[in-house]
Amino acid sequence: MAGHFEALPGGGATAAFDEVEISILRSLAVQLMELVGPGDEPAEGEDPLDALFAEGPSEPPSDPALARLFPDAYGGPDHVPDDDARTASAEFRRFTENDLRTRKREDALAVVRSLDALSAEGGKGSEDAVLRLKPDESQQWLGALNDLRLAIGTRLDVSDEDDGSELLGLPDEDPRKPMAMAYLWLGGLQESLIETLMPE
């Protein structure tokens, strides 16, 4: 799977995908939405402004992949925070995590919707289907690809200093192999999409 984005005139990006690639990307985006969790829609009769200012959690998620997607604001994963940093992180999380979760869900949903539209168009014969993204859609795709790589990388124990290249050497019988190949493929997609969005 050699997915590769190219810049479109006037902004945005384009890439060709076959049916298998579309299916894999869509499945991963749906799994990301499930991991991030459902949206907190205002209850019937509830003022939408109340929901807007609702407080989120103050503790980091227990799932390592979610903790990677929603890290503490102060200090890194190896940093042992003092009480002040812990309090500041909890306050920051309380007022930002709900919005961050919403944005991550919207990014993943944008991927699903554009892939569904692409599947509906379909390729002609053996041709790949060609995805065309507007600049704002490209940003949503970039966010979702980044989130997918962070989540999968956490499951594979890929560290920040690690480029994941050792995953190429996994034997075919290793149960991590499909996830590792998805991780590396998503990395290529993400890198090519970043290049299309960089000003010349």
Q: What 3 state SS string does the chain have?
A: CCCCCEECCCCCEEEEECHHHHHHHHHHHHHHHHHHCCCCCCCCCCCHHHHHCCCCCCCCCCCHHHHHHCCCCCCCCCCCCCHHHHHHHHHHHHHHHHHHHHHHHHHHHHHHHHHHHHHHHCCCCCCCEEEEECHHHHHHHHHHHHHHHHHHHHHCCCCCCCCCHHHHHCCCCCCCHHHHHHHHHHHHHHHHHHHHHCCC
73-96 confidence digits (pLDDT tens) = 776 555 556 777 778 878 888 888
Q: 9-13, 53-57, 105-109 — which one is most confidently predicted on average?
A: 105-109
Whether pLDDT at 42 is above 70: no
Q: Between the CA of residue 189 and those of 59, 144, 146, what are the distances in Å?
A: 33, 11, 10
Residue with tokens 């799932």: 63
Please state, in angstroms and rounded to a whole number, the distance separating the CA atoms of residues 113 and 120: 11
Instruction: Give the whole-number percent of the chain exceeding pLDDT 70.
Output: 80
Tell me what pLDDT residue 1 has: 39
Q: What is the pTM of this model?
A: 0.83
Average pLDDT of the residues of the chain: 83
Residue with tokens 């919403």: 102
Whether pLDDT at 182 is above 50: yes
Q: Residue 71's Cα: distance from chain center in Å?
A: 14
Residue 143 pLDDT grade (very low, low, confident, very high; cuts 50, 70, 90): very high
Tell me what pLDDT residue 49 has: 56
What are the structure tokens assigned to 108, written together?
């993943």
Whether pLDDT at 133 is above 70: yes
Q: Between the CA of residue 34 and those of 30, 108, 111, 125, what are the distances in Å?
A: 6, 10, 14, 33
Whether pLDDT at 50 is above 80: no
Tell me what pLDDT residue 125 has: 54
Tell me what pLDDT residue 111 has: 97
